[in-house]
Amino acid sequence: FLYACVCVCVSAGISEMLSSVVEDVSLGVNRNIFGAEVLHELLSAPWLHALLKIYECLLQFERSTPTPLLPYASGLSHEVYVHRPSAEARELYSLLSSPHMQALLSSHDSVAQSDYGPVLPPLPDEMPDGEEAMRIVCLVKNNQPLGATIRRDEETGEIYIARVIHGGLADRSGLLHPGDLLVEVNGNPVVGMEPGQVIQILINSQGTILFKVIPDQVYMRALVDYSPLQDSSIPCPDAGMAFSRGDLLEVVDQSDGRWWQARKLPCAASCAGLIPSASMLKSKQREQWWCQPLEVHTCIRPSGFRQSFRLWRRTSVRRRRQSCTSCSPNSSALSTPYEEVALYQRPPQENHRLIIIIGATRVGVNELRKRLIKLNPSTFQGPVPHTTRPIRAGEQTGREYHFVTKELFEYMVCNHRFVDYGEQKGHLYGTSIDAIDEVLKRGRMCILDVEPHSIQPLRTRKLKPYVIFIKAPGPDRLRHTRRDARVLTNYSVNRAFTDDFVELEEASRLMEAKYKQLFDRTLVNDDLQHACMQLCSIIQEAQDEPQWIPVSWSRTEE
């Protein structure tokens, strides 16, 4: 009955209603109704009337949301007492100093500073090993559900956060994310448990729930350049982080659809910076594509004879397998500004990764490749090219070339069997995917020398190419190191290497600037002997040590 009375008061007319209820109850007291006296006493209690008055006041503010003028009102009460206070000031001071007023001002300050949330218990003193990778999340249990689902990896028995329900307790904490690995719940290791058992621990928990999780880390390779200082849309340029193509980024927060937080790897700065999300960058790229002047086509080399081991290579620009990928709006760089990557260690039983070496004309790609194969022919090998030219005395099909008819060659072109092909003196020459596979299947490392535009089609899960850019040193070093070098001209004339070394360095710089997002390593071809040794050790590292590769290459299906 008391509850009903209070409810009536609260909902209908507050303290006035209470007074009339008190009157009604007093009639019941006069008539000696059982329990009426106790009820009358309760309803007449001054605290109940005070409470309802407060409630009445609060109701007035239900719709308006008043903001505090000052968050520290209690401090003000002390300022009233000046050096020689007047009688009024002294009186006001003594009023404000009373315990009730002080309590009221302190409550005001707590509300004004929103300082009424639950205080979380301190983190445990003993942090586990690998604490950097581990996140400790403490949630205060209330009557709301946790708002997250879990899943068990059947192979490893590991428990992962599967979904975080928008607006739920876990979501609002901002500390649990899909893909996070759950290690412990309230001190109980959960690896190997059934999801039902983990849920039971959660149900049985009282007060706070302590999770230990290993966050799902996301790494991206930037395929575009970005500078926050030139971006008018960034909310805070000082918090932005510049990056350029090829940089490795650890994305630590993707909760905002427009602005992510990331660190550049290797992590020098511990503080993350703001970078545009993939969708944000895509829309920026689309805007820029339409308003930028047409870029000069730099992908076709100036025609000239390249002193390649296969004389046909790169001598003809009349027939190219495909056009430059960076010159169309549908290029991969335009559609994906970031490429998600993961560390990959080649299992010993798997084929070697394809090694691609590229560089500007005459930088020494072919020289290095030849020397590498000569150094260790049982380990390194080049794919045997196809040609339509007639076989010569001393040649053997499948050794120097695969000698094929023009019809078969063209059939292979139509079926996209060539990585690279061209024409020389009326004969066709090409490197096929099958020739690469053949080398890899024999357990050898396939060393391929192609044009940059041929890299993209080779970027497959099966081949997992590792791209080494051979860079030119400065013109002075080129002049010094190449003084005894000889090159072949278009007419197979052997002449001294007297090219413009400034031009060669410039071509190398342009190629690097344009394609650096595709390079795994850069090697400066200065001293030949030293460069060859370096190349050898880079290739060993690529095969035997963990390397960043696109995540799509590490998944089971392509």
Q: Does 471 bind ligand ATP (CB under 6 A)?
A: no
Q: Does 315 bind ligand ATP (CB under 6 A)?
A: no
Residue 171 C-beta: closest distance to ligand ATP, Å: 55
Residue 66 contacts by C-beta under 8 Å, 6 or more apart in sequence? Answer: none
Residue with tokens 């791209």: 467
Q: H or E segment at 212?
A: strand 208-214
Q: Does 17 bind ligand ATP (CB under 6 A)?
A: no
Q: Does 363 bind ligand ATP (CB under 6 A)?
A: yes
Nearer to ligand ATP, 351 or 431 (CB): 431
Q: Does 316 bind ligand ATP (CB under 6 A)?
A: no
256 three-class SS: coil
Q: Does 382 bind ligand ATP (CB under 6 A)?
A: no
Among 264, 306, 310, 371, binds ligand ATP (CB under 6 A): 306
Q: In what order do the strands lie in the sheet with 427-432?
A: 402-403, 386-387, 427-432, 418-424
Residue 387 C-beta: closest distance to ligand ATP, Å: 17
* Stretch of 118-126, 275-283, 361-369, 394-402 lying at the interface with ligand ATP (CB under 6 A): 361-369
User: From its phi and psi, is residue 306 left (phi > 0), alpha (psi between -120 and 50) or beta?
Assistant: beta
Backbone phi, psi, residue 139, to 5°: -115, 140
Q: Does 366 bind ligand ATP (CB under 6 A)?
A: yes
Q: Does 481 bind ligand ATP (CB under 6 A)?
A: yes
Backbone phi, psi, residue 49, to 5°: -65, -40
Alpha-carbon Rg for the chain, nearest whole angstrom, is 38
Residue 163 in contact with residue 171, Cβ under 8 Å?
no
The closest residue (CB) to ligand ATP is: 306
Q: Find, among 1, 15, 7, 19, the residue nearest to 54 by Cα.
A: 15
Q: Does 307 bind ligand ATP (CB under 6 A)?
A: yes
Question: Three-state SS string across 268-333, please?
Answer: CCCCCEEEECHHHHHHHHHHHHHHCCCCCCCCCCCCCCCCCCCCCCCCCCCCCCCCCHHHCCCCHH
Among 199, 248, 485, 533, binds ligand ATP (CB under 6 A): 485
Q: Does 314 bind ligand ATP (CB under 6 A)?
A: yes
Give me the count of residues in the chain.
Answer: 558
Q: Total residues at the site for ligand ATP (CB under 6 A)?
A: 21
Nearer to ligand ATP, 81 or 309 (CB): 309
> Token pair for residue 185?
């719940």
Residue 350 C-beta: closest distance to ligand ATP, Å: 30
353 three-class SS: coil
Whether cis (ω within 30° of 0) applies to the bond prior to 266 is: yes
Q: Does 356 bind ligand ATP (CB under 6 A)?
A: no
Q: Where are the alpha helices (DSSP H) in 462-527?
A: 475-481, 501-515
**How many whole angstroms separate alpha carbon 312 and alpha carbon 388?**
11
Among 180, 339, 367, 420, binds ligand ATP (CB under 6 A): 367
Among 93, 344, 403, 497, binds ligand ATP (CB under 6 A): 497
Q: Does 525 bind ligand ATP (CB under 6 A)?
A: yes
Residue 527 C-beta: closest distance to ligand ATP, Å: 6
Q: Does 482 bind ligand ATP (CB under 6 A)?
A: yes
Residue 499 C-beta: closest distance to ligand ATP, Å: 9
Residue 364 C-beta: closest distance to ligand ATP, Å: 3
HSE-CB for 236 with a 13 A CA cutoff: 7
Q: Does 531 bind ligand ATP (CB under 6 A)?
A: yes
> Token pair for residue 383?
């794919």
Per-residue DSSP letter, 452: G
User: From its phi and psi, is residue 51 left (phi > 0), alpha (psi between -120 and 50) or beta?
Assistant: alpha
Residue 533 C-beta: closest distance to ligand ATP, Å: 12
Q: Find, among 434, 404, 409, 401, the residue nearest to 419 by Cα.
A: 434
Among 74, 326, 351, 361, binds ligand ATP (CB under 6 A): 361
Q: Does 374 bind ligand ATP (CB under 6 A)?
A: no
Q: Does 359 bind ligand ATP (CB under 6 A)?
A: yes
**How many whole angstroms separate alpha carbon 542 and alpha carbon 248?**
17
* Stretch of 125-133, 137-145, 231-239, 357-365 lying at the interface with ligand ATP (CB under 6 A): 357-365
Q: Does 273 bind ligand ATP (CB under 6 A)?
A: no
Nearer to ligand ATP, 53 or 530 (CB): 530
Q: 249 pairs with which residues across the strands? A: 220, 264
User: Which residues contribute to the site for ligand ATP (CB under 6 A)?
Assistant: 306-308, 314, 359, 361-367, 481-482, 485-487, 497, 525, 528, 531
